[in-house]
């Protein structure tokens, strides 16, 4: 079939079908239609089956050249007349029913390959009981609407106590409909606990690092999706209009637009939009829970799992400029992406700088100094068929291996103490040749005085300071290839003899 040779009226009909505006579907579209064997050029950017995460008024998904979309009877017949292999999967005047059929499958219920939050917590708590030395549950906050607990899980060689080790964070489900992220984090959690002592690679990770996992950030929204109420739900469950009724699409706040780095530049200020950012930064308890976690533990590296696109976003492209660590961020993202196979098995994930505003990775890097990456898992939908889920998880665990390889360095392992007492200090560590005013200054961890900083091998200037102490300056400090280069800095109190 060559769509370019079709009669103009047929082309216009097909194009109209796929041009639905963002938001609720046209109520006249009462058919759920499946279209198979869609040519690659029609799936490419600008094509008539170009899938957009935020435009589900008509085109709902497109996976391996098969699309599902909402259509009127005339639009369906137009597709058939144009030569597309189109069939009706369901007809219903209830739009939500059509969405359930499209995303949940023929049963209209979430496939059992996915877990509810209660199931995730129950499994993690079982591991806590069986392996208390390896995994600990850490409450970090609660949800905005229903005040359900949000948990992080700490995994280390002695999880019963915070450790003086580099931190690594994995989280899922900032967006509640992107449920495969929770499955990746849950699978990783089990692997870290159960394979310790059996798999040398996993054992090395856990001995070397303190790893935190937050399987579900957006617990209330995740429950709306996994309970079978609404597979479209992306935001949290906040009763935005205050009418006392929750779970009415599209209420809620986009949790991944609520962080306080360039907050006003990100998302939308319109409550009906999918990316509504809330009334002010950290207005949502889910964001405050993640902020609290960063107060408990600084992180060297972190990953937030989303869907879809098979791409890794790193900080950032801002006014045509990259982040201060652009080259290294891009390098690490490329290493991780190069290990994650796409669903079709023909390639690996792409990499791209993201924007600088209001999302977790911009905040974690810009405010906290964490090399954070958003991994958009899978392609063509946000709720994948049961047969696709194991492959997506396995592919992304290969990306974890690449990321964890970076926890050995190279870079600086800075340790700051009080020269008079030997006590660890929270101090500012500034690399003026790299870090400009687009990012906050980085600090050592108060409890241990440590700060691990990814760097390429080379010579650096390092300035370490704290109010009440004499500033320490290190010129042309050589960072070696391979493992961490250690830097011990004992700060003299102000007034002490030099």
> What is Dmax (Cα atoms) for the chain?
89
Mean pLDDT over residues 364-373, rounded?
A: 98
CA distance 276 to 258: 9
In which order are the strands placed within the sheet that holds 442-443?
442-443, 428-430, 458-465, 472-479
Topology adopted by domain 117-406: Aminopeptidase (3.40.630)
DSSP 94-142: -HHHHHHHHHH-TTSS--TTS--HHHHHHHHHHHHHH-TTTEEEEEEEE
Please report the pLDDT score of residue 243 as a whole number.
95
Calculate mean pLDDT across residues 8-18. Answer: 39
Provide φ and ψ at 24, rounded to 5°.
-65, 150
Q: Is 429 exposed, middle or buried (0-12, 13-18, 19+ CB in 10 A)?
A: buried
Any residues with CB less than 8 A from the CB of 99 and at least 6 apart, and which? 60, 230, 231, 232
pLDDT of residue 258: 97
pLDDT value of residue 57: 74
Quote the tokens at residue 266.
């990100």
Which of 44-48, 194-198, 318-322 is predicted least confidently? Answer: 44-48
Phi, psi of 173 (to 5 degrees): 65, 50
453, 431 contact by CB (below 8 A)? yes
Under a CB-based contact definition with an 8 Å cutoff, are residues 189 and 127 in contact?
A: yes
Per-residue confidence (pLDDT) for residue 45, from 0 to 100: 82
**The token pair that represents 118 in the structure block:** 């209660």
3-state helix, strand, coil in the chain (%, to 5): 30, 25, 45
CA 91, CA 31: separation in Å to the nearest integer? 5
Residue 257: burial class (beta carbons within 10 Å; 0-12, 13-18, 19+):
buried
Number of separate helices (H) and strands (E) present in the chain: 12, 21
* Residue 23 scores a pLDDT above 50: no
Question: Any idea where the domains of the chain sit in the sequence?
Answer: 3-104, 117-406, 411-491
Classify strands 442-443 and 428-430 as parallel, antiparallel or unpaired.
antiparallel
Q: Which CATH superfamily is domain 411-491 in?
A: Carboxypeptidase-like, regulatory domain (2.60.40.1120)
Confidence class of residue 7 from pLDDT cuts 50, 70 and 90?
A: very low
**pLDDT for residue 390 is more than 80:** yes
Check: CB of residue 360 under 8 Å from CB of residue 304. yes
Contacts of 343 (CB under 8 A, 6+ apart): 63, 64, 310, 378, 379, 380, 388, 391, 392
State pLDDT tens for residues 117-154. 999 999 999 999 999 999 999 999 999 999 999 999 99
Secondary structure E strands in 108-228 = 135-142, 149-155, 167-172, 210-214
Residue 1 is predicted with a pLDDT of: 35
Instruction: Give me the mean pLDDT over the 204-216 stretch.
Output: 98
Q: What is the mean pLDDT of residues 159-181?
A: 97
pLDDT at 6: 32
The CB-side HSE value for 226 (13 A sphere, CA atoms) comes to 25
- Band of the pLDDT at 48, cuts 50, 70, 90? confident
DSSP-derived letter for residue 408 is G
Residue 54's pLDDT is 56
Quick one: pLDDT at residue 145? 98
What is the rounded average pLDDT of the residues 211-222? Answer: 98
Q: What angle do CA 233, 234, 235 make, to 5 degrees?
A: 105
Q: What span, in angstroms and rounded, lies between the C-alpha atoms of 207 and 296?
A: 20
3-104 belongs to CATH 2.115.10:
no
Confidence of residue 498 (pLDDT cuts 50, 70, 90): low
- Which residues, listed in sequence order, are joined to residue 442 by a DSSP beta bridge? 429
* Residue 126 CB partners (closer than 8 Å, separation 6+): none
What are the pLDDT digits (tens) for 71-95?
999 999 999 999 999 999 999 999 9
Q: Quote the percentage of the chain above a pLDDT of 70.
A: 93
The pLDDT of residue 2 is: 34
């Amino acid at each position: 079939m060559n769509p370019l040779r079709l009669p103009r009226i047929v082309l216009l009909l097909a194009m109209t079908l796929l041009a639905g505006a963002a938001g609720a579907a046209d109520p006249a579209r009462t058919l759920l239609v499946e279209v198979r064997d869609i040519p690659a050029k029609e799936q490419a950017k600008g094509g008539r089956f170009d899938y957009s995460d935020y435009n589900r008024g008509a085109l709902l998904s497109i996976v391996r050249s098969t699309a599902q979309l909402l259509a009127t009877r005339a639009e369906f017949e137009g597709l058939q007349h144009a030569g597309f292999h189109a069939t009706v999967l369901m007809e219903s005047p209830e739009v939500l029913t059509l969405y359930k059929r499209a995303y949940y499958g023929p049963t209209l219920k979430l496939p059992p390959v996915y877990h509810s939050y209660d199931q995730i917590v129950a499994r993690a708590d079982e591991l806590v009981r069986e392996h208390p030395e390896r995994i600990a549950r850490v409450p970090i906050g609660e949800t905005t609407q229903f005040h359900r607990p949000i948990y992080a899980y700490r995994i280390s060689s002695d999880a019963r106590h915070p450790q003086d080790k580099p931190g690594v964070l994995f989280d899922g489900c900032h967006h509640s409909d992107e449920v495969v992220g929770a499955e990746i984090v849950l699978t990783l959690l089990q692997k870290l606990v159960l394979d310790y002592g059996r798999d040398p690679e996993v054992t090395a990770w856990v001995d070397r690092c303190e790893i935190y996992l937050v399987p579900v950030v957006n617990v209330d929204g995740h429950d709306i999706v996994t309970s079978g109420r609404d597979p479209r739900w992306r935001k949290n469950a906040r009763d935005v209009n205050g009418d006392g009724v929750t779970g009415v699409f599209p209420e809620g706040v986009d949790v991944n637009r609520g962080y306080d780095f360039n907050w006003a530049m990100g998302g939308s200020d319109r409550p009906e939009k999918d990316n509504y950012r809330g009334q002010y930064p950290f207005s949502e308890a889910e964001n405050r829970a993640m902020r609290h976690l960063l107060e408990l533990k600084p992180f060297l590296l972190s990953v937030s799992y989303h869907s879809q696109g098979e791409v890794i976003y790193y900080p950032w492209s801002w006014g045509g400029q990259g982040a201060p660590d652009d080259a290294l961020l891009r390098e690490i993202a490329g290493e991780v992406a190069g290990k994650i196979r796409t669903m079709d098995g023909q390639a690996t994930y792409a990499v791209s700088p993201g924007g600088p505003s209001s999302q977790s990775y911009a905040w974690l890097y810009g405010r906290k100094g964490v090399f954070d990456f958003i991994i958009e898992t899978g392609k063509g939908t946000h709720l994948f068929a049961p047969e696709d889920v194991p492959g997506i998880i396995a592919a992304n665990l290969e990306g974890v291996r690449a990321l964890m390889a970076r926890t050995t360095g190279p870079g600086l392992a800075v340790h700051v103490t009080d020269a008079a007492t030997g006590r660890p200090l929270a101090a500012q560590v500034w690399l003026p040749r790299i870090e400009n005013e687009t990012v906050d200054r980085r600090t050592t961890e108060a409890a241990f005085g440590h700060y691990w900083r990814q760097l390429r091998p080379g010579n650096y200037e390092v300035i370490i300071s704290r109010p009440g102490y004499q500033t320490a300056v290190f010129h042309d400090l050589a960072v070696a290839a391979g493992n961490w280069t250690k830097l011990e800095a004992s700060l003299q109190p102000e007034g002490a003899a030099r």
